[in-house]
Amino acid sequence: MSERRGSIRRQMLLMTSMVLVVVGGAALWSAHLYADRAARLSYDRLLRGAALQISENIHMLDGRVVADLPASAFDMLAMAPRDRAFYAIIDSGKRVVTGYSDLPSVPFDTLLEARDREGQFQPTLYDVDYRGEMVRFLGVAKRLIEADNAETVYIVVGQTLKARKALADEVGWFVLQFVALFFVLTLALLMLGIWRVLRPLNRLQHAIAERSPTDLQPLGNDVPREIAPLLDTLNYFMAQLQISLDRLKRFTAEAAHQIRTPLAGLHSQAQNALDEPDPEIRQRQLSHVLECSESLTRTVNQLLQHANLTHRFQSQPRVKVSLRQIATEVCRSLVIWGLDRGVELVYEGDEDVSVTGDAFALEQMIRNLVENAVKYSPAGSLVTLRLTAAGAGAELEVSDQGPGISDEEKPRVFERFYRSRNIDQPGSGLGLSIAREVAQYHGAELELYDNQPQGLVVRVRFNGEAIH
Amino acid sequence: MKALTSLLLGFCLVAIGGAQAATTEVFKPANVDASPDLVISGVAPVARIAPFLQSFAEREGLVVRYTERMTNEVSRLATKEQGGSPDLILSSAMEQQLKLVNDGYAQPYRSDVIRELPEWAQWRDELFAYAFEPIVMVINRDLLAGAELPQSRDQLLQLIRAKGPLVDGKIGMTDIETVGLGYLTWAHDSRQSRTYGQLLETFGNAHLRLYPDSESVLQALLKGEIFIAYNLVGSYAFDFSNRYPWITTVMPADYTSVLMRTALIPKSAQHPEAARRFLDDLLSTSGQARLGEQTGLIPVISEAGSSDTFAFLREKSHGIFRPIPLSLQLLLQTDAEKRRLLLNEWRAAVYPQQKPATDSAP
């Protein structure tokens, strides 16, 4: 539980909040820049207007500069209601005609050079600290002409920055409020959206939680496209589980039946032998009891083997195993036992084929097949184990020269505990069934063919996926 | 004046000089004898403002020294370095007060009382209007002899033309070259009135008489030296016409200029804390009411309860009030060139035989 990877909801909120913060920050910053610029431009325009109006009212009269300042220029400056304003009109000899006589850093040379293409003087703006406050100044030159006289005057108008700052702050504050509102609204919408998106997952969780453990019916499919694969996998998993459960149920029933019947037989035969006065008959009956118990032991062994294999399939990881190595080992271990029965065991095949799977299970499969073949072979016959690489896959064949299996019986021999009627050999009827389960686990197909002139061929065909 | 007698206990006359000299009085609470806690320079006559100062001194337990000075002198004091400057300046010369603030000689002050002031009654938290002053014309009814009392500038001009030689040398004004308030109102006229040119011409032809202050004009009117006085301070004029029934104060119906008396604390004030207390009192509702009752000045806050409020003035006249706004526009009235041009016109009309001056007067 502690390894949970955090909540999707929280991650989405975190990501979107980060994006919002970045976007909001950028918006605020650019609004701040814009507000400063807008305030500067608009109040610069006031300065320009005031300077222009003053400039228009400066004339030469009898060789003297006359400045009749218009009230409108001051009305214009008064539009910044809390700002101090300063002005001066200065003649070419740097003598102040009227206004403030101590304006600092008037850039006379720049004012003279600032002309447009037609030679008209252009205003120059500059900021200077004056009388304890930062002041924005605008200076512009003007050429005065009267008959033979010509004179250049400089007009300087300045204003403190209160109104500009107030305007910039107002715009900034407005934008801040807007961004904050935008942030809150977007976050609320996002939370709603995330809740809606995650709702199918919650529904799914509830649907599963409310089920009984034995209910393995597929879940409904009213989920978004992105979650559908998860649901499909879940449903597939449950279907598999259902199959396994069914199989287990059937197996248990069959196993119970298969064990109970011989046990009952054993019990009655042992009871009979106990009551039999004739020692010869009793001897025969006791040997029959022994046979029966051997047969039961085989059955139990094979059932355990089967259970063991089933457990292995569910618990052991698949590894790379060499088929050739397993096949030769099985041959080696069974060759003596075969010779005892007058059956010769032959291994054919030079190539090595590796598959991904369970070595123990494969060995059980091959052993069962070979034992079966030897068991049903007449003395002096041949059992051949052949491993061949066939295209991308591989084939493992066990062929004998025994009686074979009729075509009607072929599909049935894979059923558990099925035993051919015309066979007198002892057996549990589980061998082929186990072999086929192992083959299926490895993605291989197990098929039966008739051998020529007589006998049976069991062929295990591994397809390409399991092959290395 | 009943106010004068009541304050005799409270102050002692320190200095009496000529027209140019400063008059100083000290107001203090009973049983206190100390150096002044608050030094005020003002343009208003001591006698007029005294009751208010005395009541302030008693309420706050402060010793207040008030010096009455000429307008220009007051402004010059504010620019002095530490020591020379008063703690508070009260002046009717709006343009000079505004220039002091614009040039950085005042210190800002903000308080609950000041926040209550209307926007137009203060500038930059440094200059505060405490009284209105309508600018009026005052006429001696003896002149009329059955003629209609002129209610506007046009009617005044008609009267002067009709009376002809009878009013020659009988029209009086303050000298706009020396009296700040005179210059400010005359400059305001030059912007407002289409009759300005005719006024100038008619006054010049009728040999306008000039006086150094408003009180002198009113005294001349009382003595019969003049019959008509133009551009006088309303509060003094109403006071005067209330006492002398044959003298009538008229707020011109075409427009009535209204200026504001203003206060500021100079940067180099030595007792700024006392000055702030005075401002808070002066601009509070109760202070404004007392100002109206005790000095006859017209408070700027109409809720002040006095009968002489702006609203009362409105009822008195059917004219239009043209207030001189407390804003940067006043800077124009301090411009030396503007002054030179205006005074040139003025001199050409008032002293036709002399050559126009080439430089500004003060």
pLDDT of B311: 57
Alpha-carbon distance A145 to nearest alpha carbon in chain B (angstroms): 20
Alpha carbons A436 and A438: distance in angstroms, whole number: 5
| Higher local confidence (pLDDT), A254 or A271 | A271
A53-164 adopts what CATH topology?
Beta-Lactamase (3.30.450)
CB neighbours (10 Å) of residue A432? Answer: 22
pLDDT of B82: 60
Region(s) of chain A under CATH 3.30.565.10: 316-468
Which residue in B104, B124, B191 is closest to A71 by CB distance? B191
Whether B101 sits inside 8 A of A84 (CB atoms) is yes
What are the respective helix, strand and coil percentages of chain B, to the nearest 5?
Answer: 45, 20, 35
Q: Is the pLDDT of residue B204 over 70?
A: yes
What is the token pair recorded at A297?
A: 């032991």
Q: Is the pLDDT of residue B266 over 90?
A: yes
The mean pLDDT value of chain A amounts to 86
B91: closest CA among B50, B129, B52, B134? B129
Confidence of residue A67 (pLDDT cuts 50, 70, 90): very high
Instruction: Show the CA angle centred on residue B75, arms to residues B69 and B76, nearest 5°.
Output: 95
pLDDT in tens, B56-115: 999 988 999 999 988 778 888 888 766 678 999 999 889 999 999 999 999 999 999 999
| C-alpha separations of A1 from A5, A12, A172, A250, B348 in Å | 10, 21, 48, 36, 104
pLDDT in tens, B133-188: 999 999 998 888 878 899 999 999 999 999 888 899 999 999 999 888 899 999 99
DSSP-assigned states of every residue in B255-310: -EEEEEEEEE-BTT-S-HHHHHHHHHHHHSHHHHHHHHHHH--EES-GGG--TTSH
Whether A98 sits inside 8 A of B332 (CB atoms) is no
Whether B329 sits inside 8 A of A71 (CB atoms) is yes
- β-partners of residue B23 are B68
User: Which secondary-structure segment (H or E) carries A362?
Assistant: helix A359-375
Confidence of residue A171 (pLDDT cuts 50, 70, 90): confident
Q: Does A82 touch chain B (CB under 8 A)?
A: yes
Alpha carbons B332 and B330: distance in angstroms, whole number: 5
What is the token pair recorded at B313?
A: 């003035």
Whether A89 sits inside 8 A of B331 (CB atoms) is no
Give the residue from chain B lying closest to A88, CA to CA: B335
Q: Which domains are present in chain B?
A: 2-132+260-311 (3.40.190.10), 133-258+317-350 (3.40.190.10)
Q: How many CB pairs under 8 A join A and B?
A: 52
A430: closest CA among A270, A312, A266, A255? A255
Give the phi and the psi of residue B83 in degrees, each rounded to 5.
105, -45
Which residue in B103, B104, B329 is closest to A75 by CB distance? B329
Region(s) of chain A under CATH 3.30.450: 53-164
Q: Does A135 touch chain B (CB under 8 A)?
A: no
What is the token pair recorded at A418?
A: 């099925």
What is the token pair recorded at A376?
A: 């049903």
Whether B124 sits inside 8 A of A132 (CB atoms) is no
Q: Is the pLDDT of residue B332 over 60?
A: yes
CATH placement of domain A226-315? 1.10.287
Quick check: A413 and A405 in contact, CB under 8 A? yes
Alpha carbons B108 and B124: distance in angstroms, whole number: 7
Alpha carbons A355 and A393: distance in angstroms, whole number: 10
| Residues of chain B contacting residue A74, judged by C-beta atoms under 8 Å apart | 328-332
State ipTM: 0.82
A316-468 adopts what CATH topology?
Heat Shock Protein 90 (3.30.565)
Region(s) of chain A under CATH 1.10.287: 226-315
Q: Which pairing describes strands B23-27 and B64-68: parallel, antiparallel, or unpaired?
A: antiparallel
